[in-house]
Structure 1
Amino acid sequence: MTSSREDRLPLLGEDDREAAVRRLQEAYASEHLSHEEMDLRLGQALAARTREELATATASLPEPAKAPETTATIAAAAGRIRRGGAWRVPRFLKVHSAFGKVRLDLSRAVFEHGAVDIELQLGSGGARITVPRDAVVDVEGLSTGWKDLRYKPRRPSRPGGPEIRVTGAVGYGRLKIRHARR
């Protein structure tokens, strides 16, 4: 018969156990654990019945690496929005501006994903996006109100460039998209 304390502790699910085993394997692969300690802790994790017992098996391990952010929002009611230089471009980028100019320079940006979706929601004021020389740009999901889009598609100079999809709406400003020269 189990004690009343064990009855109050929640039992482990298979997902919790699998996550602990992955953490132990990653710690062993990055040489934070010796082979003997890995075997000992793996046995503890597999035999654990409660979260408390599982926590003992993973104690003093480095925290698991977080996945990079996949969505970011840049917003301003008025004023300028500027991004340039070597900045990390998320998988989904939302840009919202009621009044003001938007300048996105992706020519030296770090792309962690092969495809990037940029959603524009612009009231008035123009926007200029500079894309890498070898980027493929898709503007099919973009609607413009007052002025037309200015973009001249370019054949990529080399394969493997990022695919950039621009969607959303531009109200009373002009959107200019150009490829970087270098």
Structure 2
Amino acid sequence: MSEGDRDTAMRRLQEAYAEGHISHPTLDEGLHQVLTARTSSELAVPLASLPEAKAPTTSTIAAASGRIRRRGAWQVPRVLKIESAFGKLNLDLSRAVIEHSVVDVELRLGTGRARITVPRDAIVEVGDLHTGWKDIRYRPRRPSRPVGPTIRITGAMGFGRLTIRHAWR
């Protein structure tokens, strides 16, 4: 059992409470069981009576050339695939509606720069991103408030630079 499994279970309990499926005492008891669980079977007990988890959503944004831009209050899917042979990417998640605790962004970019702005309290993971020519520009930020969503960036970039920054607000 991993910390990710524990986080997912906690998120499901919180979502069930927010949607009115369970009471506050049931939420407290379920969170206690999740935090003290040592095995996956113990982790499954408080989740057994919850409604089925929503299926993960996937969206693909593709362009042969030109600019790909997403900003403002837009709904972020659980998995976002971005594909472009030539062009620039400007992905702003700072004011986006992020309902998932983990968002996977898969980049398939040929040439051109990419800029991703993440929420101020987000955790960014770029371990599985392969760059061809230039390095990634990213300086992790220490969370100043409760931890926000985890943004996992994977995929491959050819000739271009990826810049990741945290929003100021």
Aligned to 1:71: 58
Instruction: Quote the residue 2:105 is aligned against.
Output: 118
Q: What is the aligned partner in structure 2 of residue 156 from structure 1?
A: 143
Q: Paired residue for 1:45?
A: none
Distance 1:165 1:75 in 2: 19
Asked if residue 89 in structure 1 is aligned to residue 38 in structure 2, the reply is no
2:130 equivalent in structure 1:
143
The alpha-carbon deviation at position 97 of structure 1 amounts to 0.6
Give structure 1 stretches of 5+ with no counterpart: 1-66
Letter in 1 for 2:102: A
CA displacement 1:109-146 (0-9 Å, x = unmatched): 00011100000000000000000000000000101101
1:173 corresponds to: 160
Q: TM-score w.r.t. structure 1 length?
A: 0.62
Counterpart CA distance in 1 for 2:55 and 2:112 is: 31
- TM-superposed deviation, 1:68: 7.6
Match for residue 36 of structure 1?
none
Residues 103, 163 of structure 1: CA spacing in aligned structure 2 closer, same or farther, 3 A cutoff?
same
Helix, strand or coil at the partner of 2:158 = strand
Structure 1 residue 156: deviation in Å? 1.2
Question: RMSD value over aligned CA atoms?
Answer: 1.1
Distance 2:69 2:114 in 1: 10
- After TM superposition, give the deviation of residue 155 of structure 1 in Å: 1.0
Alignment of 1:36-115 (within 5 A): 70-115=57-102
Q: Distance in 2 between matches of 1:142 and 1:116?
A: 15
Q: How far apart are the structure 2 equivalents of 1:160 and 1:88?
A: 20
- What amino acid does structure 1 have at the position aligned with 2:149? P
Gaps of 5+ in 2: 1-53
1: CA distance, partners of 2:105 / 2:99: 14
Higher-Rg member (1/2): 1
Query: CA offset at residue 160 of structure 1?
Result: 3.3
